[in-house]
Amino acid sequence: MLEVLKALLLGVVQGITEWLPISSTGHLLLLDELISLSMGPKGKELFMVIIQLASILAVIILYFTLLNPFSCKKDTTEKKDTWRLWAKVIVATIPAGIAGVLLDDLMDTYLYKWQVIVIALAVYGLIYVVVEKKGRGSREPRITSLDALTFKDAAAMGAFQMLALVPGTSRSGSTILGGIFFGIERSVAAQFSFFMAIPVMAGASLLKLLKLGFSYTRSEYLLIGVAFVASFLVSLVCIKGLVAYVRKHDFSIFGFYRIALAVVVTIYFLSTGR
């Protein structure tokens, strides 16, 4: 039962931190240190992959009608617009997709360390605070709807998504801030950021699954299943909440939170002599 509760908590944290710009990697690293699951290394790696897939499934379910080009509720024009939206998502996915495939092993070996995550948390936190402070009172965004988003805008957000390959940066934070930088309204940038995550995270997860295989114990599958459901349900709530939040608020609070988390993680690991 204790292991099930641990899995449940990890799933909840994944569902929250995957979409808020505060780094799911940083939180899961610290949480795993505090309440480590009784699973083998491969089982634990599969666990992390599956709960990410749960978060992606939440996006697909939540925006299914909007993302479905075959919907009988849409007329010909609306279906064309949906295909066009997917084309923009693919364009935005290409940079991070290529970099992720080429650098996957390199990142696992050299970047998944607490020192890297702490630096990313602090630096991005500072960037959030500075950018938002300078952006107050600036001109109105030029892009206020998904339809108005151009392929050039999609490619620009895709370039920012590459920065999220470094653990601790936050994929959603990088892409949304990138969108804001290029004049895209926060809520539009947030929604498109969610859509960008589908091929990138699904592709990366499937690549991991092929490497890991499926030979695990029943107890490991139980823990993975519990965390999957938790991550999925919490992601549904957080996605809706973030879109509503960014319509009226900036990212400053997330910036301060990231800096505080970086301090906490640093103190923890230094105090344990690691």
Q: Region 40-69: what's the mean pLDDT?
A: 89
Pair 249, 119: CB distance under 8 Å: no
SS (HEC) of 36-69: CCCCCHHHHHHHHHHHHHHHHHHHHHHCHHHHCC
Determine the structural domain holding residue 158 and report its residue range. Answer: 2-271
* C-beta atoms surrounding 137 within 10 Å: 5
The count of structural domains within the chain is 1
Question: What single letter denotes the amino acid at residue 90?
Answer: I
Confidence at 55, pLDDT banded by 50, 70, 90: very high
The predicted pLDDT at position 38 comes to 83
Residue 184, phi then psi, degrees to nearest 5: -100, 135
pLDDT tens-digit series, residues 78-136: 999 999 999 999 999 888 778 777 776 677 677 778 888 899 999 999 988 888 777 66
What pLDDT, in 10s, does the model give residues 192-216? Answer: 999 998 987 787 777 777 777 777 7
Q: State the DSSP code for 71.
A: -
Report how far residue 42's alpha carbon sits from residue 46's, in angstroms, rounded to the nearest whole number: 6
Q: Residue 103, SS3?
A: helix
pTM of the model: 0.84
Nearest of 46, 65, 36, 64 to residue 228 by alpha carbon:
46
pLDDT digits (tens, 9 = 90+) for 120-142: 999 999 988 888 777 665 667 88
For residue 18, report the phi and psi dihedrals to the nearest 5 degrees: -65, -35
Measured between its terminal Cα atoms, the distance across the chain in Å is 30
